[in-house]
């Protein structure tokens, strides 16, 4: 499975995103906001392909635990990012905070593995959004293997008038 896709000038979801113009993530989008924790764990990427919204992450040595595998906290941070991307996949910008997050670790991942996540927005109400998905390790042959399943609830931020 290649990470390269035809370039589009429109982000895959509404929000502040900048398109990656070179390197392995060319054609993907990166959130242009500031999140010191997420920025230190990632970078994380998002795009839309023929199957819908997909997020991407390639863990580095900084993401490993004492056993030499990707730390559960890094996987959960990527799952939280993915939760928001999946929640916004219906075209609705989702701004808010995670109020619940459930994760099941299915298998491990190594530094350098290509990890992707896909999922679905289960329900988007006025104040709460429910979504779920799976982080997959993509092998050199394109075969996908589940690493972590997740589900969560987002509390929408109250909109303020200026």
Residue ranges per structural domain of the chain: 17-156
CB neighbour class for 95 (10 Å; exposed up to 12, middle 13-18, buried from 19): middle
Contact 150, 132 (CB under 8 A): yes
Residue-wise pLDDT tens digits, 115-143: 999 999 999 988 999 999 999 999 889 89
The DSSP call for residue 117 is E
Region 65-91: what's the mean pLDDT? 93
CATH code, 17-156:
3.10.129.10
114: which 2 tokens? 């290509």
Is the pLDDT score of 158 beyond 80?
no
CB proximity list for 125: less than 8 A, separation 6 or greater: none
């Amino acid at each position: 499975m290649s990470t390269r896709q035809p370039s589009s000038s429109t982000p895959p979801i509404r929000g502040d995103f900048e398109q990656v113009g070179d390197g392995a993530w060319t054609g993907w989008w990166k959130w242009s906001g500031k999140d010191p924790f997420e920025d230190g764990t990632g970078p994380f990427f998002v795009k839309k392909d023929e199957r819908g919204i997909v997020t991407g992450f390639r863990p580095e040595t900084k993401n490993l635990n004492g056993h030499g595998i990707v730390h559960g906290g890094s996987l959960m941070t990527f799952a939280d990012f993915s939760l928001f991307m999946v929640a916004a996949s219906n075209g609705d910008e989702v701004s808010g905070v995670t109020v619940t997050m459930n994760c099941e670790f299915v298998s491990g991942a190594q530094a350098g593995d290509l990890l992707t996540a896909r999922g679905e927005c289960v329900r988007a109400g006025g104040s709460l959004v429910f979504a779920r998905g799976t982080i997959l390790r993509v092998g050199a042959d394109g075969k996908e293997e589940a690493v972590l399943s997740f589900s969560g609830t987002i509390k929408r931020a109250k909109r303020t008038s200026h």
